[in-house]
Amino acid sequence: MQVGENGSQDSDVRDAGIAGAGRLSRDLVIAADFGTSGVKLAALDRSLALKAVAMRAYPLSLPASGQAEQAPADWWKALAEGIADLRGLIPDLAERAAALVFCAQMCGVVASDASGTPLRPAIVWLDKRAGTMSRQMNGGFPSLAGYRLDKLLAWTRIANGAPSHNGMDPPAKMLWLKQFEPDVFAGAHKLLDVKDWLLNRATGRFVTTADSANLTWMMDTRKGREGWSAYLAGRLGIPLDKLPEIVDGTETVGGLLADAATELGLEPGLPVIAGAGDVAATAIGSGAMANGELHAYAGTSAWLSGFFPSRRIDIFHSFATISSSVGYRPLLIATQESAGTAFAWAARLTGEAEGDADSALARAYEGIGPARADDPLFVPWLAGERVPVDDDRLRGVFYGLGMQHDRSALLRSVLEGVALNMRWALSKVSKQKGVLQDAPLPLVGGAAVNPLFAQGLADALKRRVEVRAPRHAGVRGAAAIAGTGLGWFDSVEAAAPALAAGPAETYDPQHEGMALSDARSAMLERHRSRLIALYR
């Protein structure tokens, strides 16, 4: 899929050439956001306006229960095809490109040899094969919140958090490789996140950024001590030399290699900026960059996130700040597993064979109407949960089904269930010191285009929700990072006005909707603890 801004190439896309140079000025950044199902690409100008966008899909393999893998070559192929799409909209893209920057899904593990060749398919964030191993890795006596006390104290003191119990964080995946695929682990020159492998493929360097490094729980995040922790890595049994160098997200990792440039149709030597993981890039792209200002993301998964002046942690509800990719600025992340995946699942369940497609989702949810008091309750734990309860064993539930419930009632319940699940998370996050309680909440991600969900979220959270370029927050945030590295902005924070510019759909909480959300949330509150106990 490819579209130009407003469906065509703008008349102001072209700038005057540099006098005597015979070529156009370097006025565009190419940003690529690698998600679970595909890559979104954009060419953005110095004001971070989208001049052309494209999307290319790639497969997700589910080889066994709890397992999720992808072929890194598919990411690169989709990148090349997407850049070709952009070039079809902006024919002189290669000559005008000032930099290439990536953001990507996080918590993946790519075992790469010294040449950067993957030794096996990438184990991506959705993979939970190491859940039992993670609980064993974390646990022991005496314990607190499922963690052996001495391990918990070390992790929280040094890294400001600890690996999740559900096996999704990288250290459990690395230890799974070490135990079950020892030849792969031994042969791995570096263990990389998704973005890190792409940077290596583009430049030949093995690097990561602080956000990905932090989520290995082998990084020291204390102010002035940021970097890999030999102590934490040693406790896990992961050799430090298998971990890539940590660089700032605004750093130019290197110039685009000649073979990579040929494959992508770009110029050799094009600066490749380190970028960020998807959460940090999206946080920037949402425009909510003041301390304590939150944004909400609802795509495949969901999260509430915001920047803070210092580290924050809530062990009992499984969220904390991590070091973001730019300047180690603390970024709070409260992640939930299912949002858009639940919407697509319900669409397929009710007859839309292509439930993941935008057109199918639009058809499925059209005309279903707002939530009703007698609709069944839905708990969206289709792939377990992380916040405020971290357990991969939890599963989704429809509660209160009756003969009167039809297709529309089920679909309404799924939208409402995701919104109320996010309310559950916000009830814990909002207790953190410094959270701006009444600020409008930017909503980004593919699910944000559903007006029923956006209004339901505003009612559930009792806050104004603003939707502005929701599908492109990742590429806009990545472009802001690249623009700062190129000197277009004095800092990433200085790009906030540009990111918050432009029209927005606003959803103010409605009295009737808030009252219904209060009543339905109270009902869920009475049942959640029993459901959690059931699956444990």
Residues 236-274 pLDDT 10s? 999 999 999 999 999 999 999 999 999 999 999 999 999
Please give the pLDDT value at position 6. 37
- Please give the pLDDT value at position 337: 92
Checking if the pLDDT of 7 tops 90, the result is no
Give me the DSSP letters along 25-43. Answer: ---EEEEEEE-SSEEEEEE
- pLDDT (mean) for 129-140: 95
Q: State the amino acid at position 405 in one-letter form.
A: H
Please, are residues 3 and 52 in contact by the beta-carbon 8 Å criterion?
yes
User: Number of helices and strands (H, E) in the chain?
Assistant: 18, 27
**11 burial via Cβ count (<10 Å: 0-12, 13-18, 19+):** exposed
Task: Report the distance separating Cα 411 and Cα 414, nearest Å.
Answer: 5
Determine the Cα–Cα distance for residues 419 and 196; give it in Å rounded to an integer: 33
Rounded mean pLDDT of 119-128?
A: 96
Count Cβ atoms within 10 A of the Cβ of residue 193 and give its class: 0-12 exposed, 13-18 middle, 19 or more buried.
buried
Angstrom distance (rounded) from CA 95 to CA 270: 10
For residue 123, give the nearest of 75, 87, 170, 90 by alpha carbon. Answer: 170
Place 24 in a pLDDT band, splitting at 50, 70 and 90: low
pLDDT band at 15 (very low <50, low <70, confident <90, very high): very low
Q: What is the predicted pLDDT for the residue at 13? A: 31
CB 67 within 8 A of CB 173: no
Q: Which residues of 463-472 are buried (b: 16+ CB within 10 A; e: fewer)?
A: bebbbbbbbb
Distance, in Å, from the CA atom of 142 to the CA atom of 147, rounded to the nearest integer, reads 8
Write the CA distances from 112 to 183, 186, 193, integer angstroms: 12, 11, 10
Quick one: average pLDDT of 214-228?
A: 98
CA–CA distance, 162 with 143 (Å, rounded to integer): 13
Average pLDDT over residues 214-241: 98
Strand ranges (E), 449-512: 465-467, 505-507
Rounded Cα–Cα distance for residues 58 and 295 (Å): 28
Q: Is the pLDDT of residue 19 over 70?
A: no
* Rounded Cα distance, 482 and 474, in Å: 12
Q: What percent of the chain has pLDDT over 90?
A: 90
- Chain mean pLDDT for the chain: 93
**Rg, Å, the chain Cα set:** 22
CA distance 446 to 524: 26
**Pairing of the two strands 465-467 and 441-444:** parallel
DSSP single-letter state for residue 17: B
Q: In angstroms, what CA-CA distances link 453 with 45, 299, 417, 432?
A: 31, 12, 10, 26
Mean pLDDT of 454-467: 98
User: What's the pLDDT at 381?
Assistant: 97
Residue in the block written with tokens 């679970």: 36
Q: What is the pLDDT of residue 458?
A: 98
Query: Which residues in 287-315 are b (16+ Cβ under 10 Å) and which e?
Result: bbbeebbbbbbbbbbbbbbbbbeebbbbb
Is residue 338 exposed (0-12), middle (13-18) or buried (19+ Cβ within 10 Å)? buried
Strands 252-255 and 465-467: unpaired
Residues 386-418: tens digit of each pLDDT: 999 998 899 999 999 999 999 999 999 999 999
Q: How confident is the model at residue 10 (pLDDT cuts 50, 70, 90)?
A: very low
Over residues 461-477, mean pLDDT: 96
How many CB atoms neighbour CB 151 within 10 A? Answer: 20
3-state SS, residue 332: strand
pLDDT (0 to 100) of residue 20: 29
With residues binned 3-state (H G I as helix, E B as strand, rest as coil), the percentages for the chain, rounded to 5, are 40, 20, 40
Pick the residue with more confidence: 244 or 4? 244
Average pLDDT over residues 19-30: 66
pLDDT in tens, 307-348: 999 999 999 999 999 999 999 999 999 999 999 999 999 999
User: What value does the mean pLDDT take over residues 47-71?
Assistant: 96
